[in-house]
Amino acid sequence: MTARLWPEIGRYVLIFAALAITLVPTLWMVSMAFKPISEWTASGEALTWWPKEPTLDNFRFIFGTSSSELLVALEKTAWRPILASLLSATFGTIIAMLCGTAAAYAVSRFRVGGNLPLSLIQLRIFPPMAVLIPVMIMWTFLDLTDTWWGLALIYGIVTLPFSFWLMKTFFDEMPREIEEAALVEGCSRLRVFLKITFPMMLAPFASSALFVFILNWSDYLIALLLTTKDWVTIPVYMASLSSSMTGQLYGAKAALGLIAALPPVILGIAIQRYLVRGLTFGALKQ
């Protein structure tokens, strides 16, 4: 009995260790977001896990409504970066998923495209800087820099390989007999896709869209090079939160990080009924 018990104990120890590694930074960010400036600056006191005097002043500060004399006024509040991240990440995900799904269906069912799958992989093989410098020059010529739609377009292009390969894998695992039966009954290929294939692929589509959205939402390098002032995203804006008086504004950054974590979490909760099914699609295929 004892010999059988040790593997179970070791398994739970590993699980709790993994949870601690994952959750400790998150808990620290949540704690820091509610600490007043006196508790996260170098004041000689030891840092504490929980705020002694919880406050919402960090949230007020990034939205431009703080009354604290220790926090300098911001030139730009967090409203515009949040809007820029939402627009660029959302529309970039839509572009990537629509184009990737259409291309994946065509390659999976009709074997068209030739070297298209390998060509899409090349978008991720090259170092990002080697690709982004020509893109930055091109976007400047097209007057797409510092715009959310220019950022959304490049997000859609960059994450297209992920959406294509994820959806192609799911389409390959879906039995063709279902579509062939509908075609025999007189349905057009477009009607088969819209009425039969896509509803069956809704779970894989939702899980792939969440993955692509997270990639777009958390991007820093592309937004840093292609935005300058008006449409900077949350990661770029967060990097600029500093003060000559207090140095890095850790409380403000933690508050903004807490806000930035909400959209992926909300989206994941909204599609949780499809998420597990999408991630395990085809696992029980016989």
- Rounded-to-integer distance, Cα 88 and Cα 94, Å: 10
Q: What are phi and psi of 192, to 5 degrees?
A: -60, -45
The pTM for the full model equals: 0.84
Q: Are residues 13 and 116 in the same domain?
A: no
Q: Are residues 221 and 269 in the same domain?
A: yes
Q: Are residues 34 and 132 in the same domain?
A: no
Does residue 212 contact residue 156 with C-beta atoms inside 8 Å?
Answer: no
pLDDT at 284: 41
Task: Please give the distance of CA 188 from its chain centroid, rounded to a whole number.
Answer: 36
Q: How many CA atoms lie within 13 A of 189 on its CB side?
A: 6
3-state secondary structure at position 44: coil
Q: Are residues 118 and 224 in the same domain?
A: yes
pLDDT at 108: 86
Q: Are residues 105 and 183 in the same domain?
A: yes
**Following DSSP, what letter does each residue of 213-251 receive, concatenated?**
HHHHHT--HHHHHH--STT--HHHHHHT-EETTTEE-HH
Q: Are residues 99 and 150 in the same domain?
A: yes
Does residue 14 contact residue 22 with C-beta atoms inside 8 Å?
Answer: no
**Domain presence at residue 75:** no
**Domain presence at residue 148:** yes
**Domain presence at residue 94:** yes
Number of domains in the chain: 2
* CATH code: domain of residue 156: 1.10.3720.10
Name the residue range of residue 123's domain. Answer: 80-284
Does residue 208 contact residue 163 with C-beta atoms inside 8 Å?
Answer: yes
State the 10-residue block means of pLDDT for the chain, 286 residues long: 72 87 87 83 65 85 68 72 94 94 88 73 75 88 91 92 88 83 83 85 87 92 89 90 70 90 88 63 46
